[in-house]
Amino acid sequence: MKEDRDLAGRRSRTGAERGRAEAEGVSNGREVSVSMEKLAYSVEEVADLLSLGRTKVVALVSAGDIGSIKVGGRRLVPRRDLHEFVERLRSESLGRVG
């Protein structure tokens, strides 16, 4: 089996090796700061995070209650929009208590 080499003659990393190195904060032998926090979530991930069903999340997105973006054929919910939705619910909930 032939190893892939980069321009400097070093063995190229496989995808799994690159993923491990990024998770460990190492790139080409140098430490880097990498945030593993997602910028956007799939509808299924949002459903899991909010303990809701997928159908309910789709309805909330369709109604504009949760902001979303479309990337290709995928509907994603930016982290900021998810946080804003939860904060809006929290504020409404606190407003009803008093």
Specify the amino acid at residue 36: M
Q: In terms of C-beta density within 10 A (0-12 exposed, 13-18 middle, 19 or more buried), how is residue 50 classed? A: middle
pLDDT of residue 33: 67
Separate counts of helices (H) and strands (E) for the chain: 4, 5
Task: With cut-offs at 50, 70 and 90, classify the pLDDT of residue 96.
Answer: confident
- In this predicted model, what pLDDT tens digit does every residue of 40-90 receive, in sequence order? 999 999 999 999 999 999 999 999 999 999 999 999 999 999 999 999 999
- Residues 71 and 9: their CA atoms lie apart, in Å, by 37
Q: Other CB atoms closer than 10 Å to residue 77's CB: what's the count?
A: 22
pLDDT of residue 36: 78
- In this predicted model, what pLDDT tens digit does every residue of 1-40 receive, in sequence order? 555 565 566 665 566 665 555 555 555 667 766 667 899 9
